[in-house]
Chain A
Amino acid sequence: MREPPGPAVEATPLVMPGRWSMLLRSLLHDPPALFGAVVVVGLIVVAVLAPLLAPHNPLTAYPSGLSRNGAPLAPGHGFALGTDPNGRDVLSRLIYGARISLTIGVVANGLATLIGLLIGLISAYIGRWVDTVLMRFTDVVMAFPILLFAIALIAVTGPSVTNLIFVIALLYWTYIARVIHGMVLSLKEREFITATRTLGVSRWRIMFRHVLPHLVPALIVYFTLGVASTILIEASLSYIGIGVPVPTPSWGQMISQGQDYYQIAPWLFIFPGIALVLTVVAFNLVGDWLRDVLDPTTPQRR
């Protein structure tokens, strides 16, 4: 045995166990990120356990949910957060809305990330005409205003959760592609890539076994931040009526419906509004924290 191994030096995060305890400590020292993380985890729990947590069926219009003259009930009396004009339980709809929003946010974003990753990685690494063609194509798609395009696509395909996911994914991948493209361009110049190419290793192996691991931290950060954006996009689309089809609950939809009743039943839009804001802020906080933690150039805080 020649040399005693030295203790690990710089953080190459996500690679080593033992990094987890450092991540946890960093989280505990960062109150906003901790808050965000708690909310996100809570949201996931709510979404997954929706059937167990929801006190009522979100789709059922309960006769007892409306007052004598047909007005929605205020919070209390068996409906913790009140009811909507159809007599449906707001709390249950909120809970199932979380499930819908999160599902759409994660799946649509996951798809967008995958597409963006592939396009960004391949175009940047292979370069030349492939790069030019793919990047110009990305520019073109980016130029479309998302909402308008989404409206047009959904008008053609019809509103459904699946269509919604595809539409969002097909429009959102460009941001990831741009970021990945830039990263790969600079990674290409690193000496270990030159060394591996000189070894005679194939391009594809280099792309997926050498370059891709370096992209993972950025992908995680952008995925997290992206979930916030895609949830908002879904909410916006549902708000204007072309998102999640009624009666499946969606926060955007609930806000849209609630705004007509703001004077007599403010709880109809307040609660979904709070839920939306809280969710988006939480994901953003967690995304920011992840970026700080995974970016090795950030100076260490105490």
Chain B
Amino acid sequence: MTALLEAEELSVAFETLGGRVQAIQDVSFAVGRGERLGLVGESGSGKSVTALAILGLIQLPGRVTGGRVLFNGTNMLERSERQLQKWRGAHASMVFQDPLSSLNPFLRVGRQVTESLEVHLEMGKAEARSRAVELLGSVGITDAERRLRDYPHQFSGGMRQRVAIAIAMSCGPELLIADEPTTSVDVTVQAQILDVLGALSTTGGTAVILISHDIGVVAGFCDRVLVMYAGRLAEVGPADEIVGDPLHPYTRALLESIPRLHGPVAARLPAIEGSPPEAGAVAEGCAFAPRCPRVMPVCRSERPELAQPEARRTDRLVACHAVAMSEATTPGRVTQGQAP
């Protein structure tokens, strides 16, 4: 079965007055129908750029420097802007971090929902309106009929995000990308929003790509997780395995440095030295080498490739020399998830 979405060796660079900045390099992954994929990374990891690249939203001074994005087998990067516009919203859609800036403050919410319906599905006004009421209700907005006439600033933060999700889902896309959708909302609201997103995949069969810097959020929501570092994939695997048994030294060190709600409280947190590299910083060898507790001489000269440890499941991949040495590995391709 073809994956719904497949990214192959995706690479994006930005040309600035200061030179060329490589934002992501050779990022490959696949998402199946109804699957929940997580993209986790810090600043400079390239996770947001990856999302934009999938939807063909990379604009000058950025460009896709390599790779393909296959949606149902078709390479979307080769399509014209007009074709992409028809595809976006109807088949693939995105929700952003800050609903205050992704919603138009000057338009009533109802209009923003029906606009998409009228454009993509060519619905008449009345039909679009009743569908809009349905959509707002489906994301948990009570009194939806009345709320259609409200402006974005009249909604609370969590409500706005629900509206953004409703708009994104209005034409029933098969893929939804959510880029840090809960970062600007309170933690008690975050859980609600994740529930809404979860229902989309469980009941609606929509594939969801969740992007976040918070590995806890991603682990709790996604089936599979991609860990990104400095524009490349560091580790890939089922969410529970990534947090329960991280293989890549970065993932492992990251999880160890996060303070926990349970368990003994240490006097010092095991911290990773240094900082994540700036976006596009060119490194020889592994980008994590300067900070890695398991660094070896080869790490500084040769960049590790994504490889699959033979003893583990086929959808577990790690790009690390140390792991390659301690476990026999074969080079791997990222495929869509196996059935749990």
Contacts and interface: CB of A to CB of B under 8 A. Distances in A.
| A and B in contact, CB less than 8 Å | yes
Interface of A: 2-4, 6-7, 9, 11, 22, 25-26, 300-302
B269 to A, nearest CB: 16
Nearest to B15: A302
B17 A22 contact: yes
Nearest to B61: A300
B274 A4 contact: yes
Contacts of B274: 2-4
B278 A7 contact: yes
B199 to A, nearest CB: 38
Nearest to B60: A302
Contacts of B101: none
Interface in B302-337: none
Nearest to B281: A7
B18 interface: yes
Contacts of B15: 302
* Chain B interface category by residue count: 10 to 19
B188 interface: no
Interface string B274-309: 110110010000000010000000000000000000
A292 to B, nearest CB: 12
B245 interface: no
Given A4-B274, A302-B60, 14 more contacts: A2-B273, A3-B274, A3-B275, A4-B290, A6-B277, A6-B278, A6-B281, A7-B278, A7-B281, A9-B278, A11-B17, A25-B17, A26-B17, A301-B61
A300 B17 contact: yes
Interface string B45-75: 0000000000000001100000000000000
A296 B29 CA distance: 36
Contacts of A26: 17
Query: Across chains A and B, which 5 residue pairs bring their CB atoms closest together, nearest first?
Result: A3-B274, A6-B278, A22-B17, A300-B16, A300-B61
B23 to A, nearest CB: 14
Interface residue SS majority, chain B:
loop
A302 B60 CA distance: 7
A7 B19 CA distance: 12
Contacts of B273: 2-3
Contacts of B278: 6-7, 9
A302 B61 contact: yes
12 contacts: A3-B275, A4-B290, A6-B277, A6-B281, A7-B278, A7-B281, A11-B17, A11-B18, A26-B17, A300-B17, A301-B61, A302-B15
Nearest to B44: A6
Contacts of A22: 17-18
Q: Which of B15, B17, B61 is most buried by chain A, counting CB atoms within 10 A of its CB?
A: B17
A296 B290 CA distance: 32
A22 B18 CA distance: 7
Contacts of A6: 275, 277-278, 281
Interface string B17-48: 11000000000000000000000000000000
Interface string B257-282: 00000000000000001110110010
Nearest to B277: A6
A11 B16 CA distance: 11
A22 B277 CA distance: 23
B48 to A, nearest CB: 16
A37 to B, nearest CB: 17
Contacts of A3: 273-275
Contacts of A7: 278, 281
Nearest to B290: A4
A20 to B, nearest CB: 12
Nearest to B275: A3
Nearest to B18: A22
B229 to A, nearest CB: 15
B181 to A, nearest CB: 26
A22 B60 CA distance: 19
A302 B16 CA distance: 7
A293 to B, nearest CB: 9
Nearest to A25: B17
A6 B287 CA distance: 13
A3 B281 CA distance: 15
Contacts of B61: 300-302
